[in-house]
Structure 1
Amino acid sequence: MTGTGDAVLLAGLAAAQGGVVLTAQAPAGGWKRGRLNRRFRAEGWTQLRAGVWAEPGRGVDPMALLWANQLAHPHLVVSHTAAAVPHDIETRAQRVEFTGPPQGRTDVRGGVLHRLPLGADETTTVGGLRVTTVVRTMADLLRAGPRDDALAAVESAVSRRSSRYGGGERRRAPLTTLGEIARALERGSALRGTATAREWLALADPKAGSPAETIARLRMHDAGLHPESQVLLTTPMSRRGVPGLLPPGAGAGGGDRKPCGMPPGRWGAQGVCENAEVLEAPLGPAGRTMEVWEEVSQWWKSRRSRSRTSGVTFPEAISRPSI
């Protein structure tokens, strides 16, 4: 167990399993479990649970725990927020979560086990891990809640978004549709939380450009306002951009409100919709968006337009939403 060949084999096994190795895999490599355990301790491997080790330098992060638990219990399926990550879906929180058979005594180290029925066609393999499919993952999140977290993930799944893979330079296509998620909910209509999940799904907007926009729109919805997403507008000072949300019918100063023609949330190098006619100050997306919002806010205040249902002005409703 001291040869270079053994080290290479262990490194290769760990690389194929998210940096995690089981001592139960020792016989397949021609090793003895006891000697392998001693080697792991001597070389600085981290024990994640009995018989499960993470390679040196690998922290006890959520991905390591997903691998550790699934290697120890292959019947467990990565699900909920944990399944959203390998599917490249944005979430407001990331937890170590699995779905397992309704009956059983399996324990999950450092995470949560949901005991739910799963069909054979509701699982897939991504990056070596067995995970719930995109539509099943979205249905699970809607049933489990909370609402804002679930809808942030749903709207990410049904729209074009920047990928977390490739350094954020690549945009991925929509992964599913609202109709497919609705059918997944109906398939599990007997499961707890389905009635509420249907109501929340009705609030989803596939044009939302980011989790922050999703939360801002939901805050406005709760205040009795119902904004439109990703509307191209021209402000009273002739700036053109997509600030993300716009109150219904509020074409600022009679400005251009034609669709942007680009994927939701798509910004050019100067922070405005890439097919906008006016590209002025070389500001990043955040600075440009704030300038547009300031002008829209000032214009809206000058109109003194108040919500008919809640008495809350539009600028007040959108100011610094809790993300």
Structure 2
Amino acid sequence: MYLVIEQLLNGLQFGLLLFLLAAGLTLVFGIMDFVNLAHGSLYMMGAYFAATFVAWTGSFVLGALLALGATLLLGIVLEFSALRHLYGRDHLDQVLATFGLILFFNDAVRLIWGPAGLALPLPTWLTVPVQIIPGVYYPAYRLMIILVALAVAALLYLVVMRTRVGMLIRAGASNREMIGALGINIKLLFTLVFGLGAALAGLAGLMQAPILTVQIGMGENILILAFVIIVIGGIGSIRGAFMAAIFVGMIDTLGRAFLPDLLRKVLSGAAASTAAPALSSMLIYLLMAIVLVVRPEGLFPAAKR
């Protein structure tokens, strides 16, 4: 029972981390109709910025805040200097251009930080286990990821659904020509949306950095999961991205945790250990296929206005 609770928390933590990445992607894709394959590179840059700033300042919290600001600024500069020229272009042009940005960022990281990966050590107060319920302890840092991601999700919902800026964002997703005709600076709005998406990707990257090695190309595999999430949840839907990310996180984590023991009943130990991760990934794509057949617009499509 304790193992099940721990793995459920791990699935929740991974799902919320995926939500931070997918939320920024679905904002940019759903509102700006822009396919940004370089979103994973912003995730990677958030991790590298965090590792660098924490080493410079000696403070994990200060370094994380600086990394978040740096990723936000990088996203704004990237949108202003290059990506805004691709709005209205064919999606294939956007895919090719942003794929080129992936190569650019990978080579830039190799030039600045070198080919070897970086480590981001945690402060002592985040390495101690926390008692969740009697007999169940959970790492403080993973618990912090859950709490921070939930707070960001709530704040993002309030901003998008309860503020004037959120109203403009939702209106831009529905009819960008109309809000432009009403005198709204659509270019500035898109810059803000892209910057917010970059900041969310950077936040996901800097929070994942202490768990995995910070390395070149770390955002490319997880970007695939982010696209799966927005397809399952519904393009442009924050609520859909949240729910789909939890589903995907749970399926992946519980599959990797419990499938090996189940498969060992019919397969050898080595074969079961090899097959379990593959089957866990297959279950995610099977879920996406089922959703596309039953609800092609996703589980929680953005409301039509």
TM-score (structure 1 length as normaliser)? 0.27
- Choose between structure 1 and 2: higher helix proportion: 2
Write 1 or 2 for the structure with the bigger share of strand.
1
Rg (Cα) greater in structure: 1
